[in-house]
Structure 1
Amino acid sequence: MSLPQPVPPSWKDLGKSSKDLLDRDFPIYGTSLEVKTKTPSNVTFKVAGDANSKTNIINGDVEAKYSDPKNGITFTQAWTTANFLRTNVELENQVAKGLKFELNTGLHPDKGTKTAVFGTTYKQPGAHSRAFVDFFKGPTFTADAVLGRDGFLVGGEASYNVTEGKITRYAAALGYSAPEYNVTLHGLGNLSTFSASYYHRVSRDVEAGAKAIYDTKATTSNVSLEVGAKAYLDAAAFVKAKVNSAGLVVLGYTQALRPGVKVSAGLALDTQKLNDATPGGPAHKVGASFVFEG
């Protein structure tokens, strides 16, 4: 008798372990701050902002999120410094177990632009599917699905423009997931770009991963490669490092100062321009992030 199959990851989460290892906790484009608090009535407030040293632009947003787990309702409202209003409403496990409905809307009063996307997610052992309708772009219908059995994963995504009456985007993926490691192969951009990634928890304190991208339409180098690792120094601190085929070396250090308070620092060095020794200059970048959660 075969064992019950777990719910596979969603399409957007295929290869997430490798992506998080290579992309997160590397604050190299300035300084960011995030403050998150939660009330006894299940309302979470989050204030976030960042000063981008690359663009010299300061961005921020205020978000309030209310959750009612008993009735499966989540309501999120956010307002950004660009005067963009974002609303998200979710209803989960009420119509059927594993079924979620969500509505994402956005409004930019200054520009008069608005967005509205309605989505459904259905997940069961061995299957995870999603479908979205973008009412103001097309309208466009997008669906994706991931099937999994005994660690093997296969998924696909397609978008259909109702007005034009044609498929505008499609992609596919294969993967294998085990407790200590996973590998994923994506065919994106109408199968014009291929990416392969892997993640390996080498030990309790060390993680490693890599990602390679092959672009069939690239006019210069067709293949790019990125390799990274993460090492825990103790229960409250870890370091990360990665290097890519363009010669960019990025280092990150994260320290939990106390429960709910985390500080991260990042440094990027262009090994092809080591003579530019100015921190944060054209060739090298530095940054930091601060997170407070109560």
Structure 2
Amino acid sequence: MSAPQPVPPSWKDIGKSSNDLLGKDFPIHGTQVEVKTSTPSNVAFKVGGFRDSKSTAITGDLEAKYTDRKHGLVFTQTWTTSNVLRSQVELENQIAKGLKLDLSTALIPDKGQKSAIVNLTYKQPGLHTRAFLDLFKGPTFTADTVLGRDGFLVGGEASYNVTEGKVTRYATAIGFSAPEYAVALHGLGNLSIFHASYYHKVSPDVEAGAKAIYDTNATTSGVALEVGTKAYLDSAAFVKAKINNAGILALGYTQALRPGVKASFGLALDTQKLNEPNPIGPAHKVGASITFEG
């Protein structure tokens, strides 16, 4: 008898290992501070602020999340400095095992703009499917499904405009995931953009990955390529580096200063413009991120 199949990742998480390796822990666009706290009554607060180094604009948000684990209920309320009010209600494993209901809304009072999206997620061994209904845009119905068996993944996504009565977007993906490595191939944008990604856990202390993107609609020919690596210096610190075919080199360093306090620093250099008089711009970027969690 074969072993039970695990629940595969969702559509958005196919290729997640490579995406996280190449996309996270590079705070190169500005300075960010985030504070997370929680109360004994299952309420968690998160306050975040970000200063964009290019525009010098400062943005922030305040989030409160209440979790009722007994009844599978999560309620999240967010208020941003751009006066956007976001609410999210999640209910999981109450109607049926593996089924999650999610209602996400957003309101901009001074502009009268609003949005509401109903999400359904159903997970079982070998299956992960989601459905989204945008009530005010279209309305548009989007669904994606991922099937998994013995590490192999096959997925697809499609959006249908109810008013126009036609499919407006579709995509597909295949992949393979193992404890030490993962590969994925995506066909996005109505199969006009193709992503290929690879992730390898070389050792407990070293990870490597790469991504290639080919856009059939691009004005310039060729494939965009990016490779990167992550190395743990010790249990509290790691460094990351990546470079793409345009010559942009990014470096990241993350250090746990103490339990609950983490600092990250990032630097991006255009290796084709290293002779610019200003070493940090406009071709180069630098930033930092500090997270406090209690």
Shared fold by TM > 0.5?
Answer: yes
**TM alignment of 1:1-294, pairs within 5 A:** 1-294=1-294
Structure 1 CA distance, aligned partners of 2:262 and 2:33? 10
Residue 179 of structure 2 aligns to a residue whose secondary structure is coil
> How far apart are residue 280 of structure 1 and its match?
2.9
Equivalent pairs, count: 294
Give the fraction of aligned pairs with identical amino acids, expressed as a percent. Answer: 75
TM-score (norm 2): 0.99
Name the amino acid aligned to 1:55: S
Residue 25 of structure 2 aligns to a residue whose secondary structure is coil
> How far apart are residue 277 of structure 1 and its match?
4.7
Q: Is the CA contact 1:126–1:149 (under 8 Å) kept in the aligned structure 2?
A: yes
> How far apart are residue 279 of structure 1 and its match?
3.8
After superposition, the CA RMSD in angstroms is 0.7
Change (3 A) 1:74 1:102: same
Structure 2 CA distance, aligned partners of 1:202 and 1:39? 40
Name the amino acid aligned to 1:146: V
Structure 2 CA distance, aligned partners of 1:170 and 1:223? 22
Q: Is the CA contact 1:87–1:106 (under 8 Å) kept in the aligned structure 2?
A: yes
Name the amino acid aligned to 1:111: K
> How far apart are residue 72 of structure 1 and its match?
0.1
Residue 282 of structure 1 aligns to a residue whose secondary structure is coil
1:140-163, CA deviations, whole angstroms, 9 ceiling, x for partnerless residues? 000000000010000000000000
Unpaired segments ≥5 residues, structure 1: none
Unpaired segments ≥5 residues, structure 2: none
1:223-251, CA deviations, whole angstroms, 9 ceiling, x for partnerless residues? 10000000000000000000001000000
1:81-118, CA deviations, whole angstroms, 9 ceiling, x for partnerless residues? 00000000000000111000000000001111000000
Residue 12 of structure 1 aligns to a residue whose secondary structure is helix
> How far apart are residue 222 of structure 1 and its match?
3.4
Residue 278 of structure 2 aligns to a residue whose secondary structure is coil
> How far apart are residue 2 of structure 1 and its match?
1.2
Name the amino acid aligned to 1:196: A
Structure 2 CA distance, aligned partners of 1:276 and 1:148? 50
- Give the ranges of 4+ consecutive aligned residues of structure 1 lying more than 6 Å apart after TM superposition: none
Structure 2 CA distance, aligned partners of 1:221 and 1:247? 17
Structure 2 CA distance, aligned partners of 1:44 and 1:246? 42
> How far apart are residue 57 of structure 1 and its match?
1.1
